[in-house]
Chain A
Amino acid sequence: MKFIGFNNYVEVLQDPLFWKSFKNNLLIVAASVFGQVPIALLLSLVLLKNGWFQKFIRASIFMPMVLSSVVVGIIWGYIYHPQIGILNFLLDSLGLGSWKMQWLSDPSVSMYAIMVPIIWLNVGPYLVMFIAALQNIPSEIDDAAQIDGAKGSRKLFSIKLPMIWDTIKVAVVLCISGSLKAFDLIYVMTGGGPAHSTELLASYMYNNTFSIYRFGYGSAVSTMIVIISLIMVAGSQYLMKSKK
């Protein structure tokens, strides 16, 4: 190994593929932050009771997480399958045949097609986090609010959300860092293709490191991922701070 200065970094920044992966990854970050977190938050508010029904629903929502991405990838692969896929079949039977798509191989829709399973898969952990935080709100505060006449949405925004705001912030950080490292599911579903159209930063890094065997270049990409994550995490925390 020899020291080659910042050549690898320069090359990373000049590679259009890196920027394409970056753009794709931004989409995934957006889908995760604005998809997973709000859905998990809403579900946690509805599922806060400890009845058997709520327990069952909560467990079900978490179940995709326990499955290997291979299984999730195969199932969604069949949902989107060009010939025998459920989605195209449903569209056909609803008389929406013209909406049928090559969901995973048409670059104009493939990124969006991938977002759906990513959101669907990851709601569970945030749901658990929010439930834990929500049930930590002391009952006195809740009662006091009731007496003050705070109800419904006002109670939600003036009491509940501020009380779990720290947890929401952590969830957003996890979401951003997780999305920037997202790799498994895409790898199984499209392998980053066709023609790099669903390449993400982590798969770009992995390919360079283990397919093309350039460890130095792969490390440079990793460093870029860390820097991008840091900027986005810092930005999100700044935005959310002002809101409190």
Chain B
Amino acid sequence: MKKRIALVAIAALLISILAACGGTNGKETTNEGEKPATGEKVKLSLWHNFTGDDQRAQTMRSIIEQYQKDYPNVTLDIQAIPPDGYKTRLKTVAAAGEMPDVFILSNGSMTQEFSAAGLIQPVNELIDSHPEWKEGFMPNSFDAFTVDGNIYSAPMGLSPTSILYYNKSILEQNGLTVPKTWDELLNAISVLKGKGITPIALGNKAAWLAQSSIFSSLADRVTGTEWFLKAVKQDGASFTDPEFVQALTYMQDLGEAGAFQDGFNAIDNTQMEQMFAQGKAAMMIDGGWALSNLASNANAEALEQMGATVLPTIPGGKGEPNTLSGVVGVGMGLGKDATGTKKDAAFQLIYAMSGPDAQKRTLESNQLVSYKVELDKSKVSPIFSEVYELVNNVKLTPVYDGKLTSAGGEAVNNGLQELLMGGKPEDIAKKIQDAQSKALGQ
């Protein structure tokens, strides 16, 4: 008898606490839900990760605020999710089949996986209705967002991933010029190393950096883009092919020549950028994202010393020499549940956030875009405009993890770490091949 009373008491306590918590919020949602649908009132959910204090995030937030002023009939349910947790949250929710109406969508594997699961809708209609906007994008901008001829988003940024940044004064002091060929690079490495200067700073703790920044471009020089795209599809090429093994060998040679400082697998890319900014290394191979870090963490004097170029040419390589691996940035995706008037409002929002005006403002906040905009050089740092020039004058080649499946990309990341620790190129090539073919088979 007493036991039963205890149980009832616990249950009552639980219910009252939960009811107390749920109460206020429950009311709120029902109120909003029951709002009479007067005319074109639309409620739209928007997920973004522009939460920070950096220029880009501030710009994007002000664009969203502007949209709210321009479209008072649309009630935005904005969820600003910290970048660290954005993908985890989106993927969890996607696994449960609940999609936000408008959200930041990564290109490549995420777009493919979401479209295969029917979680997103194409935005062809929107893009086709603004021809001048569509024309404004750089060639191939939509490729990474395209699945079976359907375009799922328009990129809001551009990330060249393999820029060779160099410190002019260090090179000069050691009688070196900016390396244009592989031999010049190896020579520069041995000269600098002889003087106790780190030739190339590397921070590969997160494992994607060596892949995205060094290997994507280096391998393209050796194998050519066409081979890579075939290997990705496992159609007439395999990662065990001799050209890929050769690309891995070049990468390993670079490590064995002592190009990188000790313990490069233990520091992250921010620390690497710091090393370079402080003049502790002559060069660094990094992406366009480094620009905003450098701008906020290095002093003006140090910024003056920096130059940017493409990776050196490789003797007998099948790829084009004057290229840079790069990938378009994220775009705004359209969730599966946005239909009818919701869809119209969502299109307006996507256009506001990635249209011509937004692209220009993004560029001026030190973020490269995949859109033709005249850059006002007074608004950005000198190294930013140098990279801007570079990107506009060379061809972009694919980035490895942008094209490979998630599992294939992980295999390359970890494989390169192993390679730089002395692993055998053939074995690593085999692991990459296995991961990619298995992931495609599923």
| Chains A and B touch each other in the complex, with CB atoms below 8 Å apart | yes
**Distance A83 CA – B262 CA, assembled complex (angstroms):** 7
A23 to B49, CA, bound (A): 37
Q: How far is the CA of A194 from the CA of B414 in the complex (A)?
A: 7
Partner of A191 from B109, B205, B423 at Cβ < 8 Å: B205
A210 at the interface (CB under 8 A from B): yes
Q: From residue B86, how far is it (CB to closest CB) to chain A in Å?
A: 11
Chain A nearest CB from B35 CB (Å) reads: 35
Q: Which of A83, A191, A210, A214 interacts with B207 by CB under 8 Å?
A: A191
Q: Is A169 in contact with chain B by the CB < 8 A criterion?
A: no
Main secondary structure of the interface of B (DSSP, over half): helix
Contact code string B216-234 (vs A, CB < 8 Å = 1, else 0): 0000000000000000000
Docked pose: A1 CA to B275 CA in angstroms: 47
Distance between Cα atoms of A211 and B423 in the complex (Å): 24
Q: Is B12 an interface residue (CB 8 A)?
A: no
Provide the residues of chain B in CB contact with A83, threshold 8 Å.
261-263
A175-207 vs B, CB cutoff 8 Å, 1 = contact: the mask equals 000000000000000110111100000000001
Q: Which residues of chain B from 390 to 442 have a CB within 8 Å of any chain A CB?
A: 406-407, 410, 414-415, 417-418, 420-421, 423, 439
Knowing A77-B266, A102-B266, A213-B406 touch, does A194 contact B421 (C-beta < 8 A)?
yes
Annotate B232-265 by CB proximity to A: 1 below 8 A, 0 otherwise: 0000000000000000000000000000011111
How distant is B118 from chain A, measured CB to nearest CB, in Å?
A: 13
Q: Is the interface of A mostly helix, strand, loop or mixed?
A: loop
Q: Is B206 an interface residue (CB 8 A)?
A: yes
Inter-chain CA distance A211–B109, complex, in Å, is 11
Proximity bits, B333-357, A CB within 8 Å = 1, else 0: 0000000000000000000000000
Q: Could you tell me if B266 and A190 are in contact, using CB atoms closer than 8 angstroms?
A: yes
* CB pair B421 A107 closer than 8 Å: yes
**Residue B88 at the chain A interface, CB threshold 8 Å:** yes
How many chain-B residues does the 8 Å CB contact rule pick out?
28
For residue A58, CB closer than 8 A to chain B, the reply is: no
Per-residue CB contact flags for chain A residues 61-82 toward chain B (1 = under 8 Å, else 0) read: 0000000000000000100111
Given A104-B263, A195-B417, A195-B421: A190 in contact with B205 (beta carbons within 8 A)? yes
Tell me whether A239 is interfacial, beta carbon within 8 Å: no
Q: Are A105 and B406 in contact (CB under 8 A)?
A: no
Interface contact B261-A82, CB-CB below 8 Å? yes
Q: When chains A and B are docked, how far (Å) is the Cα of A172 from the Cα of B414?
A: 34
Cα(A104)–Cα(B264), bound, Å: 10
> Closest CB of chain B to A185's CB: distance in Å?
14
B267: interface (CB < 8 Å): yes
Please pick, from B109, B113, B263, B406, the residue contacting A81 in the complex, using a CB distance under 8 A: B263
Q: Which of B169-191 contact A (CB under 8 A)?
A: none
Measured between beta carbons, the chain B residues less than 8 angstroms from A213 are: 91, 109, 113, 406
A191 touches B267 (CB 8 A): no
Determine whether the beta carbon of A105 is less than 8 Å from that of B113: no
A56 at the B interface (CB under 8 A): no
Contact at A210–B87, with CB atoms within 8 Å? yes
Instruction: Decide yes or no whether A126 CB sits under 8 A from chain B.
Output: no
Could you list 16 further interchain pairs (A-B, Cβ under 8 angstroms) beyond the known A105-B266, A210-B88?
A81-B266, A82-B264, A83-B262, A104-B263, A105-B263, A191-B207, A194-B205, A194-B414, A194-B417, A194-B418, A195-B414, A195-B421, A212-B407, A212-B410, A213-B109, A215-B95
- Interface pairs A-B: 9 shortest CB-CB: A82-B263, A105-B265, A195-B418, A194-B265, A104-B266, A194-B417, A195-B417, A105-B266, A102-B263
**Mind listing 15 A-B residue pairs with CB under 8 Å?**
A81-B263, A82-B264, A82-B267, A102-B263, A102-B265, A104-B263, A105-B266, A191-B205, A193-B207, A194-B205, A194-B265, A195-B418, A207-B410, A210-B87, A212-B406
